[in-house]
């Protein structure tokens, strides 16, 4: 059982009053106007802000938060050591990311013990495929944590597409594009509606799986949903098999309509 701060009740003694709190704020799908009031309020008083980013880039979360906290706030960027240089299932990828999250959790813990409050930025919702979850699992039993939910990228995308994702008793599946092609096709064939995340270099495989499941014709491709350079088109109009990480495919349901 957990309390509202994300800590495990009964597993540890109460934190001292001087301990800082780690806040993770969900920033929504990209459009700053879709951020929650609570996230904006916390950012307006932030003194220390941390965020994930790829080498050489600011990161989407930092970009969404532009101008929403003081320029005097201390920034703690967390640069991923590896992104697409190795396969997700490889030991190289796993070991590099495990060490990365260990190190960043240690760094944040030192500041929390000193009494600092820290805000970690997270696009979408922190508990939905968010990188913050890996820090949360390392820190939740020993530090005060508050997670602020956000509008997910998929809900922002299906709203902007103009296609309701589920009707009546439709069953929706959320699938990562990193799954093997046969598993993707099997899962797609078992659902009424679907959202496929993490497209990136998996585009060709995902397209074949949708075709095998008989769903390609009603699939919708979304790139950088709700952001200024958003692209929403039928999958059939997507001419190439190249796609950024921040893309997804929607398969709207066809259930009961009144």
Q: How many domains does the chain have?
A: 2
Task: Examine residue 8 and state whether it is found in any structural domain, yes or no.
Answer: no
Contact 196, 206 (CB under 8 A): yes
Task: Examine residue 14 and state whether it is found in any structural domain, yes or no.
Answer: no
Supply the range of the domain harboring residue 37: 21-151
Query: Domain check: are 170 and 91 in the same one?
Result: no
Token pair of 84 as six digits: 């697409």
In this prediction, residue 116 carries a pLDDT of 97
Query: Domain check: are 135 and 171 in the same one?
Result: no
Separation between Cα atoms, residue 217 and residue 72, nearest integer Å:
51
Reduced to 3 states (helix: H, G, I; strand: E, B; else coil), residue 101 is helix
Query: Domain check: are 158 and 245 in the same one?
Result: yes
Query: Domain check: are 145 and 158 in the same one?
Result: no
φ, ψ for residue 122 (rounded to 5)?
A: -145, 120
Q: Could you read off the pLDDT tens digit of each residue along the chain, which spans 258 residues?
A: 444 444 443 344 445 555 899 999 999 999 999 999 999 999 999 999 999 999 989 999 999 999 999 999 999 999 999 766 445 667 888 899 999 999 999 999 999 999 999 999 999 999 999 999 999 999 999 999 999 999 999 999 999 999 999 999 999 999 999 999 999 999 999 999 999 999 999 999 999 999 999 999 999 999 999 999 999 999 999 999 999 888 999 999 999 888
Query: Domain check: are 105 and 216 in the same one?
Result: no
Separation between Cα atoms, residue 155 and residue 248, nearest integer Å:
11
End-to-end CA distance of the chain: 40
Query: Domain check: are 145 and 219 in the same one?
Result: no
Final residue before a domain boundary, out of 86, 119, 151 = 151
């Amino acid at each position: 059982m957990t309390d509202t701060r994300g800590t495990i009740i009964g597993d540890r003694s109460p934190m001292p009053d001087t301990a800082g709190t780690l806040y993770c704020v969900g920033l929504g799908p990209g459009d700053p106007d879709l951020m929650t009031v609570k996230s904006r309020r916390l950012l307006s008083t932030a003194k220390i802000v941390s965020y994930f980013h790829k080498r050489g880039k600011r990161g989407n979360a930092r970009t969404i938060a532009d101008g929403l906290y003081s320029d005097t706030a201390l920034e703690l960027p967390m640069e991923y050591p590896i992104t697409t240089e190795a396969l997700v299932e490889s030991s190289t990828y796993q070991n590099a990311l495990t060490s990365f999250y260990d190190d960043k959790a240690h760094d944040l813990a030192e500041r929390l013990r000193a009494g600092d409050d820290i805000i970690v930025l997270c696009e979408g919702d922190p508990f939905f495929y968010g990188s913050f979850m890996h820090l949360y699992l390392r820190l939740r039993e020993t530090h005060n944590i508050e997670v602020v939910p956000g509008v997910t990228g998929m809900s922002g995308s299906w709203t902007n597409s103009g296609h309701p994702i589920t009707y009546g008793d439709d069953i929706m599946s959320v699938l990562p594009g990193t799954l093997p092609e046969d598993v993707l096709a099997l899962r797609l064939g078992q659902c009424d509606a679907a959202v496929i995340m993490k497209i990136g270099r998996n585009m060709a495989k995902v397209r074949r799986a949708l075709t095998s499941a008989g769903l390609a014709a009603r699939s919708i491709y979304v790139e950088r949903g709700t952001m200024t350079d958003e692209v929403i088109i039928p999958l059939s109009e997507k001419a190439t098999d190249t796609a950024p990480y921040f893309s997804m495919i929607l398969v709207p349901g066809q259930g009961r309509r009144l």
